[in-house]
Amino acid sequence: MVIVISLVPIPFQIIALTQERNSLFAYPHDRLSGIIRELGFRCTSCAQCCTREFNGHVFLLDHDVSKVKTIDPGAIKPAPRPEFCDQNGVFYVSGYALRTKEDARGSCWFLENGRCRIYDQRFSICRIYPHMLHREPDEKGNIDWRQFSGLNEHGEYHHDISIEECSALARQVTEYENAILTQEISFLEFLQDYFAGHNLRHIQKVYDDRMRRFSKGEPIKVMVFYAGQLEENVITKSDLFDIPE
């Protein structure tokens, strides 16, 4: 059974994410750095992580979106699986994702001949990958921050990485995870006030109905949260929008 997060009242979502963010900062820096050193990951430039086939989608932080807009505005799209849909059939999502190409693997928009054409300006998630954390509760319900992405599926492991490099990477990972959580909390706080001020509410039935029509080719309006405001986007299935199952 798929649980739709928007069925949970927004204030409770905000509380849960705030607690999660607190857990992030409570996680010992030295422990995280030690785990990164034990992992010893080294990139082999296989570019597997730069495909939709392997990673689904790349969610962009606001400062990454600002960077993309100066490089190539067409490289972004509303992030998949919007969190809310109001009674008028308008969707709301917490940010933008990186567009992918329409090749067999869904290669990153900026991937050419197996190499990133904007490597020196690559995005936050690309700089820490695969060390972004999968947050899962343990048997006591406490969040575990130690599961990294795509282990043993690409790259090489058990390289000797200096303590200084691991410490710096652990700091970047924490900063990235904090930014993701903070952006989602800001989105929920903004939307809570926006819905109240415009007499709107999330309607799951409207959400499901519009998604079914979208899958058959009907365009939908998606309001994307960016830089503290909502930006309107009208998209169709051809925009490679990820349809919830």
177 residue type, one letter: E
Assessment of whether the complete model's pTM goes beyond 0.85: yes
Q: What is the pLDDT of residues 65-92, one digit of tens each?
A: 999 999 999 999 999 989 999 999 999 9
Cα separation, 160 vs 149, whole angstroms: 20
The alpha-helical segments, DSSP class H, found in 50-162 are: 52-55, 62-71, 124-128
Element (H, E) at 15: helix 10-26
Chain segment 179-219, per-residue pLDDT in tens: 999 999 999 999 999 999 999 999 999 999 999 999 999 99
Plot region of 135 (φ>0 → left; ψ -120 to 50 → alpha; else → beta): beta
Kindly state the average pLDDT of the residues 159-174. 95
Main-chain phi, psi angles of 62, to 5 degrees: -55, -40
* Percent of the chain predicted with pLDDT > 70: 90
How far is the CA of 228 from the CAs of 89, 165, 223, 225, 241, in angstroms?
22, 34, 12, 7, 23
pLDDT, position 61: 96
pLDDT tens digit sequence for 141-154:
666 666 677 777 78
Q: What is the mean pLDDT of residues 125-148?
A: 76
Q: How far is CA 186 from CA 15, 20, 230, 234, in A?
A: 12, 14, 12, 23
